[in-house]
Amino acid sequence: MTSPFYITTPIYYVNDKPHIGHAYTTLACDMIARFKRLDGFEVKFITGTDEHGQKIAKAAATRGIDPQAFVDEISARFQDLHSLLNLTNTDFMRTTESRHKTAAQALWQQLEASGNIYLGEYAGWYAVRDEAFYQEDELVNGKAPTGAEVEWLKESSYFFRLSAWQQPLLDYFAKNPEAIQPESRRNEVLRFIESGLKDLSISRRTLKWGVPVPTDADHVMYVWLDALTNYLTGLGYPHPDFKNYWPQAIHVVGKDILRFHCVYWPAFLMAAKIQPPKTVFAHGWWTVEGEKMSKSLNNVVDPVQIVETYGSDALRYFLLRDLSFGQDGDFSQSAFINRLNNDLANAYGNLCQRVLSFIYKNTDQKIVAPGAFNSADQSLLAMPQELLPTLRKFIDNFQLHRYGEAVWQIIAEANRYVDTQKPWALKQEDPNRMHTVLYTLAELIRQVAILTQPLVPLASAKILTLLQVDNRSFIALDQAIKPGLSITEPLPLFAKYST
């Protein structure tokens, strides 16, 4: 029986078209999902769209169209982007689907049955952009700490007894240090909980665009309670089989939505007698050429344009290699192009091209049987398998940027090996040795291409297809190339761009 592995992205608001920040979270999850699949896990990887709430209702009204028609249109754009990004998600959740309404209402009923919901009146600040309630003392110059505009809200509302969960949450996080990562984010959450939790308004009466409260049709559920439940909907909740994957869940989120995922969500779950997720990992934010990305600055990086110009491998490689996962970073055109040229075209692309086209042109398009390996051959050939346990650690510890760094050290080593072994000179001097060197290199390229699949899946697939590799999972790392294998003409894997 293979082990289950469950990873999620936040579900994206459909008030606007997708940008590079959305692509980032999703690509990071896709890299982890791909790695785990190659490593033998049974992976569920879910992403989707968050389609209810005041923000979406307002955006639809501004466009003068019915909210359902509006969310259908924008959700489709996210799904288009996802196929463009070459994602391997196993499901796409939309909160307007009936399976989700069923799950959200079932969770509500659990909360009510356990005595965690009461009817009261909310009077306080609300930021539509964040879909969040703020206390008076949190406001900065009359705005939310995020800079969002706030409005005064006064209406009848159901409340969740969040205050009762302050100590249980602190106890839970004390016992489960891996539950919030990285550590700096964990500390931020702990400080917030320690500062005191107030009961949370979880329904809106003046809004119609939401999941109806099951016991009171005058109210719709607070959009974050609705949205967070998608992580259970995707596993079939309320059907008990959702436990096949739960609580082994990993939620990857941006640092801005920590409070919802690390305070409200585990409290809702505990109150419904469901264990909190295994880990919430919060990554950092991208700026663009040193500035915050915003519509008013007109500097929003469009992932569709980037993929159409440079390909999805290029975007994926840059985002997941350039920035330490967890930190903030800057997207600049020059850093992007430099990485593509240096790491992809000059290092990886060049290694494959010089080796495979040499074989194609000089050894009758065949990978000829090697003679005895010397220590240089052996140590090069051992590198990919020796690295695998370290790569596992990088993935499990969310050090995604270190993955590419480590694999590219092997690529650099292989390029040095080509330079010192000089197969072109061996062609006259010692053809047998030339065959051994070329076999070593082709075999190394096969193994490296298996390892690079989570990071540059399209290019890796091209290499593995050229080498006629059927089993591409990590377990096949030691299934060496059969001598005599014919190859077709290798085409360059990566383009070079002028800066």
Question: Where does this chain bind ligand MSP (CB under 6 A)?
Answer: 10-13, 21-22, 24-25, 50, 227-228, 230, 253-254, 256-257, 285-286, 293
CB of 472 to ligand MSP, least distance (A): 30
Q: How far is CA 83 from CA 27, 300, 312, in A?
A: 12, 21, 10
The packing angle between helices 67-84 and 20-38, to 10°, is 50
Distance of CA 194 to the CA centre of its chain: 30
CB of 21 to ligand MSP, least distance (A): 2
Residue 158 backbone dihedrals phi, psi, to 5 degrees: -85, 145
* Contact yes or no for 7/88 (Cβ under 8 A): no
Distance CA 172, CA 374 (A): 55
CB of 49 to ligand MSP, least distance (A): 8
Tell me the three state secondary structure of residue 334.
helix
Distance CA 101, CA 212 (A): 8
Q: By C-beta, is 122 or 286 nearer to ligand MSP?
A: 286
The total number of residues written for the chain in this structure: 499
Q: By C-beta, is 166 or 299 nearer to ligand MSP?
A: 299
CB of 11 to ligand MSP, least distance (A): 5
Q: By C-beta, is 325 or 408 nearer to ligand MSP?
A: 325
Distance CA 148, CA 131 (A): 10
CB of 494 to ligand MSP, least distance (A): 25
What tokens were used for 181?
A: 């990562």
Q: By C-beta, is 128 or 381 nearer to ligand MSP?
A: 128
**Residue nearest ligand MSP by beta-carbon distance:** 254
CB of 429 to ligand MSP, least distance (A): 54
Distance CA 473, CA 450 (A): 7
Q: By C-beta, is 213 or 253 nearer to ligand MSP?
A: 253
CB of 458 to ligand MSP, least distance (A): 23
Distance CA 329, CA 331 (A): 7
Q: By C-beta, is 296 or 498 nearer to ligand MSP?
A: 296
Q: How far is CA 325 from CA 12, 399, 410, in A?
A: 20, 6, 22
Q: By C-beta, is 234 or 349 nearer to ligand MSP?
A: 234
Beta bridge partners of 201: 159
